[in-house]
Each structure stands twice: as structure tokens, then as C-alpha cells.
Amino acid sequence: MNTDSVKRAAETPDEAMPFAELGMKQDEYDRVKEILGRRPTSSELAIYSVMWSEHCSYKSSKVHLKQFATKAPESEALLVGMGENAGVVDIGDGWAATFKIESHNHPSYVEPHQGAATGVGGIVRDIMSMGARPIAVMDALRFGGADQADTRRVLPGVVEGISSYGNCLGLPNIGGEVVFDPCYIGNPLVNALCVGLLRKDQIKLATAPGPGNKVVLFGASTGPDGIGGASVLASATFEDESEAKRPAVQVGDPFMEKLLIECCLELYAADVVVGIQDLGAAGVSCATTELAAKGTGGMHVDLNLVPLRDSSLRPEEILMSESQERMMAVVSPSDIPAFMAICEKWDVPAVVIGEVTDTGRLVMTWDGSVIVDIPPGTAADEGPVYERPFHEPAGQAALNQAVDLPRSEDLRATLLQLLGSPNLASKEWVTSQYDRYVRSNTVLAQPADAGMLRISEVMDGATPTNRGIALATDGNGRYAKLDPYAGAQLALAEAYRNVAVTGAKPLAVTNCLNFGSPEDPEVMWQFAEAVRGLADACKTLGVPVTGGNVSFYNQTGTAAIHPTPVVGVLGVIDDVAKRVRSGFLEPGLRIALLGETREEFGGSEWAHVVHSHLGGLPPEVDLVAEQGLASVMVEAAARGLVAGSHDLSDGGLAIALAEACLARGVGATVSLVGDPFVDLFSESSARALVAVRPEAFEEFAALCASHEVPCYGLGETGGDALVVEGVLAISVAELRDTHTKTLPALFG
């Protein structure tokens, strides 16, 4: 079989290359030819086509994402910002946390189990490659309507994939979201978050400096999975030997990933790693070009040395394979024996496949001929950049028209209808399939507002402290559909609030931006507005974006999903013993509502569940009020003033009260002063419910006043029912029955 070498490419300048089949546009292909001064070889085309894909190059989103940097608030906590595998934040006492959320949407639709499993695997390797020990995961999930047939295929598979992969890694799953809406039926969203911990002075970066240093590929062998377009390449230019369809979805081996985690941590501790990069999307292509581009600039790789699990793989396929559980390290030659010994201890295969050079070129050979010879930066960093046109959707003004929806007089029935609806019902059917206890540092986990981890003892030799981190993810596609600018801000505000109500101070942000096709100007407008909104809100709240991910093309035909920016917020708490738990933990506590309630039903859960209606405007964003509320909650926790809390969001006060009662089976009696319907079901932002011991109430109220946070006494905890005086009374048992039966009835 002929190998398409650089020499051959120079000799056959006019040979047609299948760039279009690989998703490359004519002008992009022309640019590759201009960079190289000749046509690319098939291997080079493989590299450029994946590196310049939307997924790897962010070519449609880059011009907008810049705002996360240009508008970034001053933050002493930020140690590594956007552009690396994950951002790193200083959390005190010499510790740093690294966290990131990433989508694996399309694979999870095609093959829910493996798609979701490898989504977890990928984000965990991103965190490992920063030099950190991964310490927890979370998942933000969106599915089609709960009663739609395909949801019964996708949801159990996704949950099982996350469960089998994450549990086997020994990472507690401490939170996340499960949301149903028919708009996701053909495009479910699987956004996986991982957080890791490291010492501040031990950050690793994806770089390959030092000519003569060795390039080591370690972990699983390379197989024909996740190849997608590469088989087009391998079979188009040559005889049809590799005609067999290569699977486009990767298959995960969590056991290998667990070994890789322990192996990497031991390699870091032995200080035998100069630079490191995980192999995710675009596999060897991405790792070699990015490492070389950020290092001394050159690298020589012998592709024949890559361990294969299918010996028929062609070099183009090896370059594009997305086989899981692989890492690439740059290692000084004198450290190679120690490096290999550690890999051997953990039964992790490792092979030197090349070395760092100072030529400024990435050169690869196959069977002795040069098949790749490119300036690595042109593939890694200098991809195309598009200023995609955008405009407000034609129907946006009509969508924003408020409609008067009839309100039932029977608020008891309305509450139960909402509480049992799939989006508000208990997610225990899902979360009980995740291990939340492993590593014994889980202070809070779902259904708490935020997950919280104690960070002492995570690393050997660390001084035990009671310091902890808290994490929450949020996102409301309906709000964002009505107003993407406000919707993105509301997602941030809710995650920020969820972290704060546990007593942790919000510090930094990651985001996963899920949208339809960027080639649709109306979708592009949603994207541009959401990014602008998020960047503005991060600036106001003083929490920088540290990294994240964009997922476009979540669209079937012309029907795009609701724009769904999912925002993750990380916070820090000095002493986890002072964390505030969710809900009413005991009788005899004073209940107070913090924040102002307005008549806001646009995009609400009530309009969705009761009227299947989406229209009007989302709740007003008040970031100053969010900041005040967060300050109160953080300070109240530190002073031990609050005995329980709960964020108000979907379903408003009614659902917050019901969930607070369900936390420990403690009832409550409250009175409302305004219109009961508005008080109970409005979704105004910047609000929280707190339970305070009577003797601390005065001091707590004074704290609220000093931050200008409205504090309304509602009533008291106790009894075995939720009683809203003069409006409704529901026993905790009935609340529980309604809340817990929905998902098991749907999914078995």
C-alpha cells in the first residue's frame, strides 16, 4: 500500500484530497496549501481537519469568548486562566483547585452509555493533566420530555454510563442537574464537570520544552474508535482495504483510567514530568501539535511506535483516533527509567514515540518516510476565525409578549402538580446510581444546593485543615430562550447563590455553552447575547471564568435546542464544620425569606407544567442583590447563625418550602402577606430560604439589614405537615410520595 508521504505530495500537487468529506471548507483547504507551500499529505490533512474543526478550534465562538478575558474581574485567586486544559484557582493554605465542565452531547445521543461514560473520562483527564488529583465529578444533564419514547432509551443509558465509569474511578458524584424538555429530544445534553486538587506550586502545563526531551505516549493502546471522518481519508486515497466502518463513538475503560490517575500522581510526585497533555478530541493530532506549539516549537514522532490494538490502522486513523485513557508526557531522557518503572508498577503501558526538537516543525514518520512536516502552531493555534453573522430571531418580540395565563384557585393542587412534575420531582432514581461517599471527604452532596468537599488529607503529607470547596452547576434553557443575555446571567446567579447558601464564598466560574448551529444567524445571536451576558455578570460579581467548553450544532434539522448555557461556580469555605445544610433539620426554628418577590412567571416552571407555555420575559436579574445575599449567607455561616438554608429557584417558594420539609421530614407553618399565588410560585431571583434558631434571629436580621438584604419572617419549623396559613396544608408524607414516585414510574 502506498503511503502518502511529503515527498509524494510534492510530486503530485494536483491530487484531489477529500477535504470536504472531513468537514473542511475550500478556503480552509486553500489556506493549508498556502501554509505548507504544497498540498497536504493525507496525514497532514487529518491533523488540520480535526484541529480546525469547530470542536477543537472554537472558530465560530472565539471572537465572542474573548470577552471572558477582556471583561474578567481582577481576581487574586486566579492562577491559570482560559486556554489551558482547565483553569486553576488559589483556595488558600497553599492549595489550588482546578475545575472544568465539558460537553459530550452528540456521542451520548448516538450511544448513551459509552457517550456519557467517555464524557466523564475526558474531563477527568483534563483535570489530571493540570497536575491535580481529581476529587469529584458532577453532571448537568438535559433530556427530551420525560414521557417521550426516546428519553427512555437515552436517560437510562446516560445515567448508567456515568455511574459505571465514575463509580469505577472512585470519584464521588456530588451534584448536578437533570432537566427534561421536548426541545432536547434529538439533542440530549451531557455536560460533565470534574474538580481536582493540587498544591499551588505543582501546576503542570501542556508544553514540550527542551530539545532532546522524550515524548512518551502512555495508557491504553490506540484502536479504531472515535475515528469518524478519518476512515474516509484512509479509504479515499488508497485501495478500499479499510472499508470497514469505524465506530464514531469511543468506548471507555474506567479501570485503565483509574490506573492512569494513580500512575500520573506518582509520576508528578517523583517529579519526572516536564509537560503533559491528555488525549481527548483529535487524539494524537491534538496532543502533539499543542505540546509542540507551546514548547520549544518542534517535535519528531515515529508513528510506527504507537501501540495499536488493531494493526490494520493507517497513520491517518492513528492521528485521528479518539481512543480513551491515553496521555502524552514530555520527559527528560535521564528520567525515562524512573518514569517507566512507575508506569510498570501501575500496569500502564508506556512507549517513547518521539522527541522534542528545536526545528519549529512537527515531523512524523511512517515506515521510514516523512508523512507530516508542519509548523505545529498553524494547526494548534492559528485555525480559522469566523465572524459569523447574527441577528435577533424573527419571532423574538412576539415570544417576549406577556400572556395572561389562568391561575387556579386550588394552590394545594398546583403545588403538588409542580412537585411531582419531572423537572421538580426527586432525582434520587438517578443520583442513587452514583457513589457520593468514596474518598470520605463528601460534606454535602445532592440533593443539597451545592456539593461540598473537605480537602484535608487528599494529598499525602498535607497539613490537615478543615478547608473545603463547594460546587454547583445551573442553567435554565427556557429563560435563555426568552432572553439569552439575562438567561446566562440567571444561570450564573443561581449557581453563585447555590454555593453561597452552603456558607462557601463563590470564587470562580466554568461554563458549558450548548447551542444550535452557529451557521444560523438567529442561533448565533443567542450565543453572542449569552456570552455577553455571562461576561458582564462575571465582572459584576467578581468571579472570573477559568475555562469551559462550547457545544454547537445541538440541532435536528432547523429545530435547535433552547440556548442552554450551563454555568458552574466554585466556592471556598474556611471550615467545613460551619457549612449550612439544606432544608429544615429540626423543629422550633424560625423560617425567613431573604430577597424581594415580584410577580415573575415568564419561563417559570408553573407556566411550563400547568400551561405548557413559554413566553414573556425571564425574572429580572439583580446582581447587586445576589452579592448582598451571598455576603449575608457566607458571614452568617461563619458566625454559626443559620441552621439550614435553601436556594429559591424553579417553582419558587412553594417548591423550596416543600423540599426543605422533605430534607429531614420536619414540617413547617408559614404565613404569607402578599398574593398567595405570586408569593408561592413566582421565580424572582436573588432569594433564599433560611431556618434560624430563635435566639440567633435578631442577630441574623441585623446582619441582613447591614447588607440591605430584605428578611421576612415567615413562620416556624415543626409538625409533620407543610402548612401555609389560610392557603394549604399538606402532610410531609404526601409531599414525599408525590416527590419520589415520578421518576421510578417513568424509568422503572
Binding site, annotated residues for Mg(2+): 102, 126, 278, 549
Shortest separation between residue 345's beta carbon and another protein, angstroms: 8
Nearer to another protein, 258 or 505 (CB): 258
CA distances from 150 to 146, 182, 187, 265, 420 (A): 9, 11, 11, 41, 21
CB of 430 to another protein, least distance (A): 10
Q: Which is nearer to another protein, 125 or 478 (CB)?
A: 125
Cα 258 to Cα 165: distance, rounded to the nearest angstrom: 10
Q: Are 188 and 179 spatial neighbours (Cβ–Cβ below 8 Å)?
A: no
DSSP assignment string, 226-292:
S-TTHHHHHHHSS-GGG-SPPPSS----HHHHHHHHHHHHHHHHTT--SEEEE-BTBHHHHHHHHHH
Kindly report the length of the chain: 748
Nearer to another protein among residue 61 and residue 323 (C-beta) = 323
- Asked if 104 is an active-site residue, the reply is yes
Asked if residue 535 lies in contact with residue 403, where contact means CB atoms within 8 angstroms, the answer is no
Q: Is 614 helix (H, G, I), strand (E, B) or coil?
A: coil
CB of 435 to another protein, least distance (A): 5
As a whole number of angstroms, the distance between CA 459 and CA 456 comes to: 8
CB distance 177 to 473 below 8 Å = yes
Residues 482 and 399 sit within 8 Å (Cβ to Cβ): yes
Interacting residues of 410 by C-beta distance below 8 A, sequence separation 6+ = none
Q: Taking the chain, what is the end-to-end CA distance rounded to the nearest angstrom?
A: 53
Which residue ranges are tagged as binding site for ATP?
58, 100, 511, 548
Measured from the CB atom, the residue of 162 and 183 that comes closer to another protein is 162
Query: DSSP readout, 104-136?
Result: -HHHHHHSHHHHHHHHHHHHHHHHHTTTPEEEE
Least separation in angstroms between CB 738 and another protein: 20
Cβ of 705: how many Cβ atoms within 10 Å? 12
Measured CA to CA, the distance from residue 688 to residue 628 in angstroms comes to 12
Binding-site residues from annotation:
58, 100, 102-106, 125-126, 250, 278, 322-324, 511, 548-549, 551
In whole angstroms, how close is the CB of 272 to another protein at the nearest point?
A: 20
**Binding-site residues for substrate:** 103-106, 125, 250, 322-324, 551
Angle at 657 between CA 654 and CA 662, to 5 degrees: 125
Catalytic residue among 55, 113, 608, 646: 55
Task: Give the amino acid at 269.
Answer: A
Nearer to another protein, 481 or 579 (CB): 579
Taking Cα atoms as reference points, which of 742, 185, 134, 696 lies closest to residue 477?
A: 185
Q: Provide, rounded to whole angstroms, the least separation between the CB of residue 730 and another protein.
A: 24
- When the beta carbons of 158 and 362 are compared against another protein, the nearer one is 158
Query: Which residue do the cell numbers 481536582 mark?
Result: 196
Nearer to another protein, 413 or 437 (CB): 437
The CB-of-195 to another protein minimum distance in angstroms stands at: 16
* SS3 track for 33-59: HHHHCCCCCHHHHHHHHHHCCHHHHCC
| Side-chain half-sphere exposure of 543, counting CA atoms within 13 A | 30
Which residues contact another protein by CB under 8 A? 160, 163-164, 167-170, 253-256, 258-259, 346-347, 431-443, 454, 457, 576-577
Q: Which of 64, 104, 300, 562 is catalytic?
A: 104
Q: Is 55 a catalytic residue?
A: yes
Query: At a CB cut-off of 8 Å and minimum separation 6, what does 635 contact?
Result: 703
**C-beta closer to another protein: residue 254 or 295:** 254
Nearer to another protein, 143 or 346 (CB): 346
Instruction: For the CB of residue 460, give the shortest distance to another protein in the complex, in Å.
Output: 10
Planar angle of CA 729, 734, 735, nearest 5 degrees: 80
CB-count exposure of residue 350 (10 Å: 0-12, 13-18, 19+): buried
Shortest approach of another protein to residue 646 CB, angstroms? 18
| C-alpha to C-alpha distances, 74 to 81, 107, 500, 541, 542, nearest whole angstrom | 12, 37, 20, 11, 7
Q: 3-class SS at 648?
A: coil
Catalytic residues: 55, 104
